[in-house]
C-alpha cells in the first residue's frame, strides 16, 4: 500500500502501547460481559476488536440517540444527510446512502437481537443496558450483513423486583425530553416479569428558515415505546416477548448554498420513520445443550422528501428554479433463527469443546413510491419555462437462509482454538414501473479461526483470521435494459481480515485496556459513485455501484479506563486507519486513493473528577481526521475536535446534571455533496452538511424502587 510505510505502522503501534503503559493501578472496576454472541462471555475472552458503552455512559448521555454516542467510537463514522444518521461506516467500510438499488448493508445493526440494518435512525437509547461495537467482519457471528462490523444494542431486561427510572431534560434550541421506565414481577412467584419504557424527545433543530421565518423546519419530534415481558414457564424453559414502536416525526430542511445554518427552502422536506417491532424468544434447556428460538417481525414506514433546489422564488430570481422530491417507503422483515448452544463441554480427542449449530432465515420486502416535480425557466430563453413531473415505483423482496456453526477447542487451561463457519444463500426479486426487473442470487460463505491465550485471569492475547461477505445486487434507474450493460449487476464483496490483539481487565485494580492491530483485504470491493444527468435538474442523480478489483484497510484500535487517584480517572480510545482503493480498471483516477468516509485518526479522551461524595465533573474531547466525502470526487472534510462537559450532583435517588456539547462551538461537516445547484451556470460546487453546534442544558433523573 503506497500510503502505508513501515515507520508509520510502528509509530501508530508505539503510540498505542505507550498510551496504555504510562499509568499506574488503583481501585476496583466493574466486570464487563459482552452479549452479542451465542453465550455471554467476559470481554477479556473476546477474540475481536470490541468497544463497550456501558450503562453508566448511556445514562449520563443527555441526548438519547446512538448518533450522539457514535463520536465516542474510534474507526466508526456515519453519513448524515438530512435528519438522523441511518448508515454507518466501520474501518472505512459501509454505505453512505440508500436512494437506489439493493437494500443491503456492510454494517449490521441489531437491537435486542432484531436486525435493523440500514435503519439506524431508530436507535434511541433511553433505558438501554449496553451497546457493543464489533469492528471487523462478523460472518461467523450473524452473517452477510456484517462485512465491516456489528453494532449491537441491548435494552433493559425485566427485573425480579420492582424498580424504575425517570428523566427530564431541557436545553437550548427548544430541546426538551421526558421519559420513564419501570418494571418488575407480575405474579407472586415472580415467574412473569415486565419492563415498560416510554420517552418523548423534542428539539426545534439547529436551522432557521429565514424565508418562511420558522425555526422548526429541521426539528426532532421522536417517540419511543417499548414493552418487554418474560415468562419463566418452568425451571428449564422460558419465553421472552417484545413489542416496540419508534416514531421519528422529523422534518428535513438541512442543506444550504452557503453552508450556514440559515435555510431558504420554500418547501421543506421530511425524513421521518415509524417502525413497529414484535419479537418472541424461546429457550429450552436440556442436559447438555440449550435450544434457542428467536422470531421477529418489523414494519417500517418512511417518508423521505426534500426541497432539491434549496431555495425559493426570491433567492433564485430572475430564474425560475423549483424542484421537489418525495419518497414513500414501506419495509417489512421476518426473521427466524434456531440455535443449539452447548451447556456442558463435549470431548474431542480428550479435550473439552464448546459448540453452537443453527439455521437462520430472514425475509425482507420493500416498496418505494417516489414523486418528483420541477420547473426551470431562464428569462433569456423564449421557449421556457420547462416543467417536469415524474413518478417511480418499485418492489423488492429477498430471502437469506444460512447454516452456521462454531467450535471452541480448549487445548489447555490457558489456550483456546476457535473455529466458526457460515454458509448463506441469498435470493431476490425486483421490479419497477420502468420495466426493469432483476432476480439475482448469491451463495456465500464466511469463516473465522482464532487462537486465544489466557496469560492469567486478567490478560489475554489473541490472533484471528476471518472472512466476511456482503451480497451482490443491481443498479436501477440507468435507463438500460438488463442485457445492454454489465453495470446493472454487481457481484458480492468479500473481506479477509487479520487481527492481533491484547485485552486486560482487572478485578482487583482500576485498570482495563485493549489494543488490536488489523489488516484487511477487500476482494471485488463494492464502490458507489454518482453523477447528475441534467445540470438544471437536481432530481436527476444516477447512483451506480460497481466492483473495484480490490481494496486494503489497515489500522490500530486501542482503549483504556484507569483510576489515576481516588478522585481522578481517565478514559480514552484511539483509532488509526489507512485505506486504499487498488486496481480499478474503469476508474484509474481513484487507484491509490483512500476510501471515502475513512478518517485516518479518530479519538475520544476524557477525565472524570470526583468533587465530593455526591458530585463529579467530566470533560471529554472527541475528534476525527479529514476524510473524503465520496468516491465520486476528491473533496475532503476538515479535521475537527469537539469538547464536551458535564457536572452531576446526586442526592438520595435524584441526579441533577448540567451539560454542554461542542462547548467551543466548532464548525465541522459530516457530509459533503459536489454538484451544480445554482442557476444559471450550475457549476460543480462542494456543499457541506454542518454538524451539530453548541448545545447545553440540564437533566434531572430519579431512580425509584
Per-residue pLDDT of 449-473, as tens digits, reads 999 999 988 899 999 999 989 888 8
Question: Measuring CA to CA, which residue among 175, 234, 209, 217 is closest to residue 83?
Answer: 217
The residue with cell 437509547 is 125
Confidence class for position 506, pLDDT limits 50, 70, 90: confident
Per-residue pLDDT of 261-283, as tens digits, reads 999 999 999 999 999 999 999 99
Per-residue pLDDT of 354-391, as tens digits, reads 999 999 999 999 999 999 999 999 999 999 899 999 99
Per-residue pLDDT of 57-94, as tens digits, reads 999 999 999 999 999 999 999 887 678 888 899 999 98
User: In whole angstroms, how far apart are CA 433 and each of 395, 429, 481?
Assistant: 9, 14, 13
Q: What is the pLDDT of residue 547?
A: 80
Q: What is the pLDDT of residue 616?
A: 96
What's the burial of 120, exposed, middle or buried (CB within 10 Å: 0-12/13-18/19+)?
buried
Residue 271 lies in a domain: no
Q: What is the pLDDT of residue 104?
A: 75
Q: What is the pLDDT of residue 28?
A: 40
CA triple 515-637-309, angle to 5 deg? 135
Q: How is residue 320 written as a grid cell?
A: 425560475
Domain boundaries, position 28:
6-266+278-704
- The mean per-residue pLDDT over the stretch 441-453 comes to 92
Residue 554 lies in a domain: yes
Would you say residue 3 has pLDDT above 60? no
- The mean per-residue pLDDT over the stretch 133-153 comes to 80
Question: Measuring CA to CA, which residue among 310, 214, 299 is closest to residue 255?
Answer: 310
pTM of the model: 0.91
Question: Measuring CA to CA, which residue among 159, 207, 211 is closest to residue 316?
Answer: 211
Cβ neighbours for 150, distance < 8 A, ≥ 6 positions apart:
36, 107, 108, 109, 110, 132, 133, 134, 138, 141, 142
Per-residue pLDDT of 660-698, as tens digits, reads 999 999 999 999 999 999 999 999 999 999 899 999 999
Per-residue pLDDT of 218-234, as tens digits, reads 999 999 999 999 999 99
Q: State the Cα–Cα distance between residues 254 and 240, nearest whole angstrom.
A: 41
Q: State the Cα–Cα distance between residues 248 and 232, nearest whole angstrom.
A: 34
Domain tally, the chain:
1
Residues β-bridged to residue 615: 612, 649
Would you say residue 22 has pLDDT above 70? no
Confidence class for position 140, pLDDT limits 50, 70, 90: low
Residue 115 lies in a domain: yes
The continuous run of DSSP H or E covering 518 comes out as strand 511-532
Per-residue pLDDT of 598-652, as tens digits, reads 999 999 999 999 999 999 999 999 999 999 998 888 999 999 999 999 999 999 9
Mean pLDDT of all residues belonging to the chain: 88
Q: What is the pLDDT of residue 35?
A: 60
Residue 176 lies in a domain: yes
Cβ neighbours for 582, distance < 8 A, ≥ 6 positions apart:
548, 549, 550, 551, 552, 591, 592
Coil, strand or helix at 589: helix
Give me the sign of the Cα torsion angle 60, 66, 69, 73.
positive
Q: What CATH number is attached to the domain comprising 657? A: 2.40.170.20
Q: How is residue 39 written as a grid cell?
A: 453465550
Residue 260 lies in a domain: yes
Q: State the Cα–Cα distance between residues 536 and 540, nearest whole angstrom.
A: 9
Residue 273 lies in a domain: no
- The mean per-residue pLDDT over the stretch 433-449 comes to 89
Q: State the Cα–Cα distance between residues 597 and 602, nearest whole angstrom.
A: 12
Amino acid at each position: 500500500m503506497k500510503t502505508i510505510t513501515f515507520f508509520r505502522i510502528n509509530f501508530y503501534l508505539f503510540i498505542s502501547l505507550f498510551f496504555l503503559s504510562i499509568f499506574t493501578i488503583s481501585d476496583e472496576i466493574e466486570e464487563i460481559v459482552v452479549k452479542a454472541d451465542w453465550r455471554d462471555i467476559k470481554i477479556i475472552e473476546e477474540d475481536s476488536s470490541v468497544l463497550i458503552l456501558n450503562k453508566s455512559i448511556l445514562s449520563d448521555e443527555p441526548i438519547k440517540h446512538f448518533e450522539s454516542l457514535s463520536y465516542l467510537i474510534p474507526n466508526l463514522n456515519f453519513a448524515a444527510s438530512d435528519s438522523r444518521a441511518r448508515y454507518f461506516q466501520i474501518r472505512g467500510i459501509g454505505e453512505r446512502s440508500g436512494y437506489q438499488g439493493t437494500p443491503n448493508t456492510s454494517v449490521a445493526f441489531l437491537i435486542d437481537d432484531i436486525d435493523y440494518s440500514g435503519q439506524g435512525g431508530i436507535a434511541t437509547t433511553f433505558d438501554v443496558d449496553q451497546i457493543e461495537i464489533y469492528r471487523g467482519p462478523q460472518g461467523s457471528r450473524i452473517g452477510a450483513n456484517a462485512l465491516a462490523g456489528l453494532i449491537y444494542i441491548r435494552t433493559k431486561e425485566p427485573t425480579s423486583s420492582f424498580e424504575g427510572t425517570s428523566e427530564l431534560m431541557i436545553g437550548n434550541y427548544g430541546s426538551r425530553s421526558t421519559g420513564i421506565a419501570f418494571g418488575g414481577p407480575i405474579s407472586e412467584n415472580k415467574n412473569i416479569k415486565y419492563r415498560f419504557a416510554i420517552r418523548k424527545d423534542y428539539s426545534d433543530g439547529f436551522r432557521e428558515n429565514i424565508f418562511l421565518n420558522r425555526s422548526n423546519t429541521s426539528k426532532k419530534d421522536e417517540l419511543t415505546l417499548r414493552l418487554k415481558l418474560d415468562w419463566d414457564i418452568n425451571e428449564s424453559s422460558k419465553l421472552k416477548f417484545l413489542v416496540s414502536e419508534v416514531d421519528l416525526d422529523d422534518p428535513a430542511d438541512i442543506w444550504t448554498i452557503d453552508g450556514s445554518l440559515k435555510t431558504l427552502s420554500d418547501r421543506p422536506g421530511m425524513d421521518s420513520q415509524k417502525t413497529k417491532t414484535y419479537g418472541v424468544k424461546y429457550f429450552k434447556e436440556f442436559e447438555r445443550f440449550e435450544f434457542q428460538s428467536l422470531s421477529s417481525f418489523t414494519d417500517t414506514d418512511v417518508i423521505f422528501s426534500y426541497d432539491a433546489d434549496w431555495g425559493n422564488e426570491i433567492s433564485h430570481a430572475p430564474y425560475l428554479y423549483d424542484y421537489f422530491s418525495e419518497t414513500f417507503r414501506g419495509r417489512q422483515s421476518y426473521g427466524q433463527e434456531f440455535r443449539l448452544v452447548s451447556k456442558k463441554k463435549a470431548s474431542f480427542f480428550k479435550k473439552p469443546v464448546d459448540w453452537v449449530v443453527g439455521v437462520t432465515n430472514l425475509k425482507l420486502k420493500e416498496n418505494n413510491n417516489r414523486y418528483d416535480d420541477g420547473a426551470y425557466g431562464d428569462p433569456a430563453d423564449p421557449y421556457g419555462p420547462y416543467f417536469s413531473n415524474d413518478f417511480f415505483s418499485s418492489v423488492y423482496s429477498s430471502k437469506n437462509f444460512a447454516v452456521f456453526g462454531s467450535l471452541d477447542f480448549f487445548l489447555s487451561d490457558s489456550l483456546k482454538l476457535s473455529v466458526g463457519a457460515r454458509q448463506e444463500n441469498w435470493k431476490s426479486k425486483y421490479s419497477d414501473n420502468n420495466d426493469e426487473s432483476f432476480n439475482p442470487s448469491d451463495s456465500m460463505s464466511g469463516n473465522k479461526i482464532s487462537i486465544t491465550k489466557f496469560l492469567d485471569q486478567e490478560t489475554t492475547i489473541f490472533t484471528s483470521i476471518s472472512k466476511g461477505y456482503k451480497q451482490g445486487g443491481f443498479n436501477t434507474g440507468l435507463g438500460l435494459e438488463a442485457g445492454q450493460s454489465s453495470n446493472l449487476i454487481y457481484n458480492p464483496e468479500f473481506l479477509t481480515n487479520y487481527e492481533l490483539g491484547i485485552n486486560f481487565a482487572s478485578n482487583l485494580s482500576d485498570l482495563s485496556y485493549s489494543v488490536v492491530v488489523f489488516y484487511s483485504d477487500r476482494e471485488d470491493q463494492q464502490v458507489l459513485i454518482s453523477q447528475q444527468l441534467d445540470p438544471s435538474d437536481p432530481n436527476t442523480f444516477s447512483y451506480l455501484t460497481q466492483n473495484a478489483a480490490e481494496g486494503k484497510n489497515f489500522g490500530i484500535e486501542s482503549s483504556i479506563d484507569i483510576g489515576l487517584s481516588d478522585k481522578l480517572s481517565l478514559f480514552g480510545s484511539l483509532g488509526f486507519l489507512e485505506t486504499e482503493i487498488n486496481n480499478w480498471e474503469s476508474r484509474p483516477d481513484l487507484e491509490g486513493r483512500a476510501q471515502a468516509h475513512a478518517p485516518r485518526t479518530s479519538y475520544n479522551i476524557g477525565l472524570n473528577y470526583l468533587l465530593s461524595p455526591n458530585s463529579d465533573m467530566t470533560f471529554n474531547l472527541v475528534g476525527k481526521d479529514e476524510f473524503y466525502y465520496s468516491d465520486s470526487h476528491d473533496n475532503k472534510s476538515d479535521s475537527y475536535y469537539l469538547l464536551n462537559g458535564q457536572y452531576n450532583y446526586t442526592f438520595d435517588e435524584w441526579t441533577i446534571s448540567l451539560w454542554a456539547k461542542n462547548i467551543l462551538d466548532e464548525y465541522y461537516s459530516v457530509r459533503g455533496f459536489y454538484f451544480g445547484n445554482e442557476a444559471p451556470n450550475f457549476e460543480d460546487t462542494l456543499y457541506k452538511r454542518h454538524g451539530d453546534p453548541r448545545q447545553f442544558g440540564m437533566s434531572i433523573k430519579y431512580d425509584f424502587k
